[in-house]
Structure 1
């Protein structure tokens, strides 16, 4: 397709520089949003059209819009980082674009072309560039692309109209006081996804289904839930919002960095894929295989399981200190972030922040550095 043309309508009431500075000093996560957003529409007769940067604000939906009844909705999550030269780059946005297409395909939605996905990021960041935090730390601008079915009418079939949107929210470091381990609930009744289902798509329904078991985990003092497979209730899939990694000491004394394989119910995390490469770069033996819940519990008990961590866009790497389950609980290692976990996290975040070499070409410049005066 030809290069997309975006119209730009400036927000008549943007946040003042003082208010923006106040927000960036303590942004939290998902609490504040930039002055603008992107909208692009799709219809059967026009295809993708009306690409625009507009003031951030509410949208209007007819009560019979199909997303409200049949759940055709997908989203992505990625971050933009200020680099040392003032440019703005994102970590593997092309991979997010392709996964967004895969999610659309699974939910029978229109597939946004990769170049249009990337252009939407650049266009929004060009207008809201002052919302991207300064370089040097882990602060970033979180980007949330999403798409919903907007055709008006009832009837169980794919919508003939869709709305793609992109919003952005400044995000502080996930661990403001240093990397902290969390407790995880190993869920044995509820499952996240089944083979042939939507587990490989990033859609809202998967997350809605996780809210009840998340509440169960919270009752046991856990911040996250790890799920077993839906067929045998034996094999670990992932957490509600993270892929999982395990560091084992093998009988011969070697170290294995393992993660559940992508068997059709696990989301293909971009951080997960990157972590596999980084672990190999650092010399670790890496495997993708089936890992039983019993292997987690028994390995933590006998000391063969050294470390466990989750990985995803928000925290990059989250160490897991304790695993609780219906029969008790086990501590992983000494309950603190392990050396492998910390080494992998540092290697990846250094690339994202632009303070380390990028041998795999993962960082994509979305807004060039300002011209020198």
Structure 2
């Protein structure tokens, strides 16, 4: 008998808690930062588009799309203050299409932060141009890499807006002038930033008040709660170039209309109502204060990603197991996902968490700390 690999089975709509394998757990490993995945208006948006267009239109996105796709692209462009938006079935596709297309000559140069997301790394590998990697968030290292950019043709600097394993925000206010000085495009993956970073949640570009024509990629599957889908947003000539030559756009299927309908409803909600963003930030502050009082080492940050640093791979796995035994699901990450010696529990806070959820999670971590102290003694 054959079987699929084992994964915990989730039942019901996602919220601050979820039923996993028949047991209710406080979920601290979800990208649903604003609690929109189960929101009635977002679900209704998906249902309306599903009823109107069915499960899929059976056409490549370069041939035709639905009206709901067009509305989503237009409203997202307005939300991000970008000239143009191109929709993808994932941000991984958007990253690969953008980097492969814009650096498709042997003299092109991509300059990439060493901690960038795997899909950015894959996009760099697929491009014909050369990739130079600089040390994470190290502008001196970046300047050293740009020293030989004068010999390059087209130049790109690419970075995550919010780094998924660190929760830190790229210094775009310094990266953009540096990119301008060498005639490079700045490409920013906003997957973990859109909806939650910046005064109104419009991402790291808003937070850093980055000037210039920043090229942005991102996803609808995290704070916007739509489950999947991605985008490229930026200057019209750049978007047009990827539209006409981006292999990961042309030779694939579009995001389903139902996903576009959910994403459109989510964009309208986060644009018109900041209460979810305020609830998220309150929850993040509450969790950080409680964890610091308990003595855990946290990476600095103010966003929903809160890395709890453990160092040793086995220790991270023990803590994750201890948390699950206490009704809290939080994933451990160890080498090679993170650098050797920097294993961690990546906690992801949501607006859907209640104060009771946050306090219970802190309590579970406190009990795990006691067990770790006993283990070491």
Instruction: Please give the TM-score of this superposition, normalised by the length of structure 2.
Output: 0.24
Q: Which has the higher strand share?
A: 1
Q: Which has the higher helix share?
A: 2
Name the structure, 1 or 2, with higher relative contact order (CA <8 Å, separation 6+): 2
Instruction: Please give the TM-score of this superposition, normalised by the length of structure 1.
Output: 0.24
